[in-house]
Homo-oligomer: A and B are copies of this chain.
Amino acid sequence: MSQSRPILYTYFRSSCSARVRIALSYKNIEYESRAVNLQKGEHTSDDYTELNPGKLLPYLVIDGNGLSQSIAILEYLEEVYPDKPLLPKDPGQRAQVRTIVNAISCDIQPLQNMRVLLALPEEQRAGYARKIISAGLAVVERMLEKTAGDFCVGNHVTMADCCLIPQLYNARRFDVDLSAMPHIRAIEERANALEAFRCAHWSRQPDCPVDLLSSANM
């Protein structure tokens, strides 16, 4: 549909950006990547705020629309670029996908983010993030017992996988113990074998500092 290539504003470490990077790659939508360094506060610059008042990542310019909020972007891509679908056809299964999506995007990711962690004393931050991610993924694991095949819901990649895998980057970063989560680990392995997930990984982004590459475990 688009006349010019979509532009994705992204940061290598942003798990919300990674959701969209995965979906774009999975759907074979070529895009141009523009790095916004969250650590340097580039998301609060006047230029970026003018573009995206939410001052968050990702931000996608596509088909003449400027879209923020990763889940809204996934739904847009699904509606406008239906090839290689990221939602099943059955409404009950679609709800299962979105339930996992929201269990991650509402109940895990926001709570382990800097906005919350910075409100806590420094010595409590990592432990709090670990607790939130661990409890949240335990809930997802219980959901997967009912829904998973090769991937989160059935045997095809869905939006749920686009959200789960980037959340696992953060789980690894905060040393969350995934040993009691066999479904999550099996899905992670299958996803990381796919090029769409590999090329969206934080370690494969042009803005990833070289000194972090040694900690990339994929």
**A residues whose Cβ falls under 8 Å from a Cβ of B:** 53-56, 63-65, 67-73, 75-76, 79-80, 91-92, 94-95, 98-99, 101-103, 105-107, 109-111, 115-116, 119-120, 124, 128, 132, 139, 142-143
Given contacts A76-B95, A107-B110, A111-B115, could you give 7 more A-B pairs where the C-beta distance is less than 8 Å? A54-B107, A68-B99, A69-B98, A69-B99, A102-B105, A106-B106, A110-B111
Nearest B residue to A75, CB-CB: B98
Q: In the assembly, how many copies of this chain are there?
A: 2
List the 3 shortest-distance A-B pairs measured between CB atoms, nearest first: A72-B98, A69-B102, A53-B142
CB distance from A83 to the nearest CB of B (A): 15
Contacts A79-B94, A80-B91, A120-B119 given: A106-B143 contact, CB under 8 Å? no
The residue from B54, B91, B107 contacting A56, defined by CB atoms under 8 A apart: B107
Nearest B residue to A108, CB-CB: B110
Docked CA distance A53–B99 (Å): 12
Contacts A94-B76, A109-B106, A115-B111 given: A99-B139 contact, CB under 8 Å? no
Nearest B residue to A142, CB-CB: B53
Cβ–Cβ < 8 Å partners of A128 in chain B: 119
Cβ–Cβ < 8 Å partners of A64 in chain B: 92
The residue from B72, B91, B115 contacting A101, defined by CB atoms under 8 A apart: B72
